[in-house]
Every structure is written in C-alpha cells, then in structure tokens.
Amino acid sequence: MKYFKPIYIMALLTGGLVMADSSEAALFTVNNTWMLVSTILVFIMHLGFATLESGLTRAKNTVNILFKNVSIIAIGLLTYAICGFNLMYPGEFSLGGVFGFAGWGISVPQGAAGLVEYADGAYTYFTDFIFQAMFAATAATIVSGAVAERVKLGSFLIFSTLYVAFIYPIAGSWKWGAGWLDQIGFYDFAGSTLVHSVGGWAALVGAVVLGPRIGKYGRNGKGTIPIMGHSMPLATIGVFLLWFGWYGFNGGSVLSADPGPVSFVFVTTTLAAAAGVIGAMTLSWTISKKPDLSMVLNGSLAGLVGITAGADVISPMNAVIVGYIAGLLVVSSVMFFDRLKIDDPVGAVSVHLTCGIWGTLAVGIFSPEHQFLTQLIGVGAYGLFCFVSALGLFYGIKTAIGLRVSEQEELGGLDLGEHEMEAYAGFQIFTVE
C-alpha cells in the first residue's frame, strides 16, 4: 500500500467534522467538492477574458491587455480577501440593507463552525470565500475590454482596484448579502446584474469618458471604420473558455451539488448559449450579408449572460428563447453604440450590460414566481449606483493623473508606450490602417 503524506492542519480542520453519521459527511464532501470545481472553472474564465479581449483588439496593444488581465485577477483576489468578502456578506447591515461590513481580512471560524455548520453542510468557510473571490475580479475584467487600446495602465489599475474592492461588493450585498433588494424579492441567480451589469455599467462609463479610439469614427467624418481584432483564434479560444467556465459560474451558484438543480442549470445554460449563437448568426448574416465570426462569438456570450439571472427558474424551452433574444440584442446593441459613437472595442457593454439587463428582466417574464417590476427596480437601482460610482471614479482619476494615453502612444501602440515590449517579436505586423 502506498504511503500517505501527513497533513497536519488537516487534523485541525477536520477536527470539527463530527457529523450525525458518515452519510452526511459524504454529502457535505461532494457538495464542497463541486463548489471547488466550480471555483476552478470560474478562475479559467479570466483566461477567457484575456484571450477574447486581446483577440478582438490590435496586435500593438496585446501586451497591455494581457497585463491588465493578469493584474486584475491578482488585485481582485487580494482585495476581496482584505475587505470585499466582508462587505458583500456583512451578516448584519449597519445601514438598513444598503451597507454593512464584517471587518477586515478573512477570519476563519474555528472548528466545526467554519466547516460543516458554516453553510448547513454544503461547503466550508474557505470554499465560500474562494468561490466568491473568483467572481469578484470578473466585474473589473469586463471594464478592461471596453476601455482597451487607449486607457493608461496605471489609471486603469487604480480604477479597477477601487471598483472591485468597494463598489462590486457593496452592490452585491444588496441581493446576495441579504440586503434590501433581496428583501423586496429581487432575483438574480448567478449575476446577470450583480456581476455582468455591474461590470457593464462601468464599461459604458469608461468608454464614454475616454472617447473613441483614433480613427474609429472616421477622419473627416468618413463614417465608422471597423478596427479589426488581430487574432480570431485567440478570440475564439476566449469564448469557448468563457462558456466552459460558465458551467462553474452558473452551476456553482446552486451552492451545492444537488443533482436536480445543477443538471437543470446545465441544460438551461447550454441551450441559451447555443441559441445565442444562432440569434447573433441570423441577425448579423441578414444585416451584413456575410456571416460575422466576431458577432457569433459575442452571441454565445450574450446567451450566457442572458440566462445567468434565471438559469434555475426558466424552463429549457424558455432558455432557448432568452438566449436567442440575447443573440439578437447583442448584435443590435453593438451597432447601436457605434451609431452613438461610443467605442467599445470588444463589445463588452453590449454583452454584459445589454444582455445582463435583458436576463434580469427575463426572470420577471418567464418565471411565475418573480415579478417584472421588482426586477426592473433592481436593474434601475444597480444602474444608478454603478453609473454614478463609475463616473465619480473615472472623473476623479482623470482629474488627478489623466486617463488616456497620448495620441502618439495610441498610434504606436500601448505595448511600446506603456510596456516597451512587443507581443509578437519577430512577426511582421503592418501598423497602418
């Protein structure tokens, strides 16, 4: 028989694991394991974002985008440990369902309290923290795509740190932390609003405050000129990884491995994503006469964002409808924002905000237990809070240290400007047009 490595702290940790009988222990273990697997799946979504965003932008800004994505996850995880977790799940609110804070740092409840009793035998304190921490960084990452190719690195990192450390968890506490929106019956299963719209609003504000990239809306008013992403394979890798991770994002949001709900959520999530692809394909093919890969990729994400709020309460058939409509919406939304001359290089606003709102409202439409009006109130409340916060932060930073790189740096690329580095050393890349 093989030898086992002794794990000292294990004894300490499992000391509390005295359960009525060992079958409870088994159920506890499988629930917890599924939550950890979901955590890993949500983690890899950050690679999905990194590759999607760099694929849909130009080669001269690739190092910059990758750098931002690697930094954000690190910052997001650490700030969530420092204060985010305790802002989002304050236990008690000091300010009537709107603000609460359970103290700095992560504090391990001793013995069984942190383990089996912590969540009625569904998962441990540590599992709870790490699963939620992986979600946190997502909101900031969404912004990164919309402000790409022109935002100063330092300014963006400051914005992200503040947004992810304070705005995201406070907003989250209103619903998931049992705050006021939860009390009035607002529903958002895995975060169409709490994660995607929260990121999407900041993305919108960022894109507006920064203004469009040079050349996007024509020199001398020559109309909108597409600025092609430099690598469709990278973008495709990103979308598949996001879809892949979404099984943890939605599946893990069941907060246990309960076979019924988890498998149900898998089905709705999958069908919505597939329908999003078809929705985006039909609309973009009709409008542009040619099948546009970048739109179809966005379509699957649209379907996923759309079903996220109601993945456990919308039937498979209706999930197809929600996803299909999200696919239509994302294409229309991209074109709409272009008409407004709001330049969002990767379509982050259309995917996460437009479809996040749609998904949240869809719960009010397709789930009999939920009310459209309450959902609308939730959407409005989050919109207001995030819009104002993001605007405040962006303007503050703009005033203090500036937001946008110089014209010359933008033309030459942020990789050389901000990093003095190239993403594809040796490759011949035409930097004209």
Cα distance between residue 408 and residue 416, in whole Å: 11
Contacts of 341 (CB under 8 A, 6+ apart): 212, 217
Integer Cα distance of 398 and 219 in angstroms: 25
Q: Verify binding: residue 59, its own copies, rule CB under 8 A.
A: yes
For residues 164 and 154, give the distance between their C-alpha atoms in angstroms, rounded to a whole number.
15
Contacting its own copies within 289-328 (CB under 8 A): 290-294, 296-297, 300, 312-313, 316-317, 320
Site residues (CB under 8 A) for another protein, limited to 290-309: 290, 292, 294-295
300/202 Cα distance (integer angstroms): 22
- Nearest-approach distance from CB 285 to its own copies, in angstroms: 10
Q: Indicate whether 416 belongs to the interface with another protein (CB under 8 A).
A: yes
Judged by CB, which is closer to its own copies: 339, or 427?
427
Member of 206, 251, 345, 378 binding its own copies (CB under 8 A): 251
Selected range binding its own copies among 29-37, 140-148, 333-341, 393-401, rule: CB under 8 A: 29-37
Residue span binding its own copies (CB under 8 A) among the ranges 212-220, 262-270, 372-380, 396-404: 262-270
Compute CA 63 distance to the chain's CA centroid, rounded to the nearest angstrom.
21
> Contact between 141 and its own copies (CB under 8 A)?
no
249-270: buried (b, 16+ CB within 10 Å) or exposed (e) per residue? Answer: bbbbbbbbbeeebbebbbebbb
Specify the residue for token string 């619903």.
175
State in Å, rounded, how far the first CA of the chain is from the last one: 66
Q: Which stretch binds another protein (CB under 8 A): 115-123, 329-337, 357-365, 380-388?
A: 329-337
Using CB under 8 A, which of 37, 214, 335, 377 touches its own copies? 37
Work out how close the CB of 220 gets to another protein at its nearest, in angstroms, rounded to a whole number.
8
Cβ atoms of residues 300 and 239 within 8 Å? yes
Q: Which residues bind another protein (CB under 8 A)?
A: 215, 219-220, 224-226, 228-229, 284, 287-290, 292, 294-295, 331, 334-335, 338, 347, 411-412, 416, 419-422, 428-433
